[in-house]
Amino acid sequence: MSVLTLPAQPGQDTAPRPVPWRRMVWVTWRQQRATLIAVPAVLAAVAVFLVIFGLKAHHDYAALVNCPINQGQQSPACAKLFSNFNSGDWPLGNICAILMQLAPVLIGAFAGAPLLARELENGTYRFAWTQGLVRERQAIAKLALLGVTLAVLAGAFGVLFSWFFQPFLWTEQMNRLTETVFDTSGIVFPAFTLVAFAIGAFLGMLFRRVIPALAATLGVYLAVRLGAWALRGQYPVTVVTSNASQFTKYGTPSHPGFPWILSTWVTGPGGQPASPSVANRILNGPGPSAGGSVPPGYTEWNRWIPLSHYWPMQFIEAGWLLVLAVALMAGTVWLIRGRAA
């Protein structure tokens, strides 16, 4: 460290010092006040709506579930409840679910892209980056403070949304592993928000313009999201079973338990793959999971992920998303160090 080899000079501060977090809290708050007010305000407004509408949906769903089913046949009253739920509650719930898909990138892009790009556009970086606190430290403090704040907000909002969406899981034949549900729940939702914020900040520093950075953030985030969907089936949480009867495909309200089946195949008596015609007949017929049977000597295989593996999957996905976010933030700081003006 060159800092340590310099001769001590009276009246000069040469020692490296930790980030003054308390001061940077004020700086971050004052400079990002619009973001820090707008994001919680919008989330709070949506939260109020989710609570009101969620209570109604939960009420309707309870009535639906409690309606007696005789011999697998719904009574007309129950059928009416069901159709009311599907035509009254679901459309709004569906819109909320779609908006929820966009929430991380909206929060992240609008908070992240302008964070540094605005300073570069307005020229205020020439003020901020020549103050006593080294600019890398300023950036680290801002990225950390804003990132943690946004992730906590998103996490809390994700909990509320998961409660809100509960009634729709069974009626829409979804479960916690369905892509769009998995994305918007647990710790993966705040992780996606953090990644979107980090992408925005990085591209803002790269492009030095707010609008191009915003647009590019949407694209890069979409790529990360699709990448996550493609990767998800590769996590080491899959189970392979033969002639499985331990899961039912459509589940019940009390056991919304159809798993995520990644692939299915059939083998013949000698263990060799069955001919396509036989395999198709078996797979398209009522297989073991539907109460049917497989011809003797043949075996139906399933590679699938049980619902109980939800949390391990959440930790794996949130883990690599967090690594990605930290890497992007490190890249942002690296750009700040070397690419000023």
Partner 1 sequence: MNMIETTDLGKRYGKSWALRDCTLTVPAGHLAALVGPNGAGKSTLMNMTAGLTVPTSGTATVLEGHPAGSTAALNGVAFVAQDAPVYKNLSAGDMLHLTRNLNRHVDTAFARARLADLGIPLNKKAGKLSGGQQSQLALTLALARRPRLLILDEPLAALDPIARQDFLAAVMTAMADDGVSVLLSSHQVAELERVADFLIVLSRAQLQVAGEVDDLLAGHRLLTGPTAEADDCASRVTVVQTRRGEAQTHLLVRTSDTSAPMPPGWESHQVSLEEVVMAYLRSPGVSEPAAPTRVQRPQPTEATR
In sequence order, the 6+-apart residues with CB closer than 8 A to the CB of 148 are none
53/37 Cα distance (integer angstroms) = 24
Out of 83, 122, 173, 252, which residue is the one contacting partner 1 (CB under 8 A)? 122
- Angle at which helices 21-31 and 33-66 pack, to 10 degrees? 80
- Residue 122: C-alpha distances to residues 38, 115, 125, 136 (Å): 21, 12, 8, 19
Give the residue, chosen from 46, 65, 67, 134, that forms a contact with partner 1 under the rule CB under 8 A.
Answer: 134
Please provide residue 273's backbone torsions phi and psi, each rounded to the nearest 5 degrees. -60, 140
CB of 40 to partner 1, least distance (A): 19
- What is the smallest separation between the CB atom of 199 and partner 1, expressed in angstroms? 25
Residue 125 or 164: which CB sits closer to partner 1?
125
Task: List the structure tokens of 290.
Answer: 């539907």
Q: Which is nearer to partner 1, 25 or 327 (CB)?
A: 25
Q: Quick one: angle between helices 135-171 and 21-31, nearest 10?
A: 70
**260 vs 305: CA distance, rounded Å:** 5
| Residue 123 within binding range of partner 1, rule CB under 8 A | yes
CB 213 within 8 A of CB 110: no
Shortest reach from residue 304's CB to partner 1, in Å? 54
* Distance from C-alpha of 22 to C-alpha of 38, rounded to nearest angstrom: 22
- What's the one-letter identity of residue 268? G
Question: Smallest distance, Å, CB 138 to partner 1?
Answer: 7
In angstroms, how far is the first alpha carbon of the chain from the final one?
A: 26
Q: Is 4 in the site for partner 1 (CB under 8 A)?
A: no
Should residue 5 be labelled a site residue for partner 1 when binding is judged by CB under 8 A? no
Regarding 133 and contact with partner 1 (CB under 8 A), the answer is yes
The residue (of 20 and 155) whose beta carbon lies closer to partner 1 is 20
CB closer to partner 1 out of 270 and 338? 338
Q: Is residue 73 involved in binding partner 1 (CB under 8 A)?
A: no
Site track for partner 1 across 22-61, x = CB under 8 A: -xx-xx--xx------------------------------
Minimum distance of partner 1 from residue 3's CB (angstroms)? 7
For partner 1, the binding residues (CB under 8 A) are 2-3, 6, 9, 12-14, 16-17, 20, 23-24, 26-27, 30-31, 122-134, 138, 337-341
